[in-house]
Amino acid sequence: MKLKLPEGVFRAYLFDCDGTIADSMPLHYIAWKAALGEWQCAFDEELFYAWGGKPTDVIISTLNEMNGLKMPVEALAQHKEELYFDLLPRLKAIPEVVEHIEARHGQLPFAVVSGGRRSSVVRSLTTLGLLDKFATIVGADDYTRGKPAPDAFLLAAERLGMAPADCLVFEDTEIGIQAATAAGMASVKVPPPWERN
């Protein structure tokens, strides 16, 4: 499978991390199931993928509301991240995306724009040996309004000194694509694991 890029000249590439650079969504789901299982809180796999790009804290708060639970948001978010870190030895990159990183590194500036926490993004990219390819990382700690709001992508463009129209976004989720569009950026959609094989 090759990723087909939209027409146009782009001066910067902005990448989501989980499910875009890192094939980490299956591992995140294992961590979520384990963390939420301790609270007898179900998290359907379809819903998990539909919510891709949402910050961890928002997911826990929403599940609390949906299920009438009082799971501790901060502590559970931290616990879930630690369970994910335990799975990092199994992490692989998504070759079709890495191909574009390798091809344009040194020619264009790159940023990572994630709904995940910076610590999680840094650990994933370090595991994959890709951390040094990115000029900046925008994580959930850096903005208030998450995707589909454009804030995270606009912040990344500003940090790179680029106009939004000059940026191409690589994303795997619908809310990520919506955020890129709201920021005035072209995007390319990375298919989910079951469509890539």
pLDDT > 90 fraction of the chain, expressed in percent and rounded: 91
CATH number at residue 112: 3.40.50.1000
Give mean pLDDT, residues 129-137.
98
pLDDT of 197 over the 70 cut: no
Residue 2 within a domain: no
> Do both 112 and 77 map to the same domain?
no
CATH number at residue 74: 1.10.150
Residue 99 within a domain: yes
> Do both 148 and 116 map to the same domain?
yes
Per-residue burial over 22-45, b if 16 or more Cβ lie within 10 Å, else e, is: bbbbebbeebbbebbeebebebee
> Do both 98 and 156 map to the same domain?
yes
pLDDT of 91 over the 70 cut: yes
Tell me the average pLDDT of the chain: 95
Segment 146-176, tens digit of pLDDT: 999 999 999 999 999 999 999 999 999 999 9
How far is the CA of 174 from the CAs of 10, 53, 104, 155, 156, in angstroms? 21, 9, 25, 20, 19
> Do both 180 and 133 map to the same domain?
yes
Give mean pLDDT, residues 91-105.
96
> Do both 85 and 156 map to the same domain?
no
Segment 17-44, tens digit of pLDDT: 999 999 999 999 999 999 999 999 999 9
Q: Which domain holds residue 136?
A: 12-23+92-196
Identify the pLDDT of residue 81: 93
> Do both 44 and 16 map to the same domain?
no
Contacts of 60 (CB under 8 A, 6+ apart): 71, 73, 76, 77
Q: Which of 67, 89, 111 is the C-terminal boundary of a domain?
A: 89
> Do both 102 and 47 map to the same domain?
no
Identify the pLDDT of residue 54: 87
Residue 3 within a domain: no
16 is catalytic: yes
Choose the catalytic residue: 16, 18, 23, 151.
Answer: 16
Residue 125 within a domain: yes
Per the structure, the count of domains in the chain is: 2
> What is the pTM (predicted TM-score) of this model?
0.93
Identify the pLDDT of residue 15: 98
Sheet holding 12-15, edge to edge: 136-138, 110-113, 12-15, 167-171, 186-189
Q: Which of 89, 113, 133 is the C-terminal boundary of a domain?
A: 89
> Do both 72 and 105 map to the same domain?
no
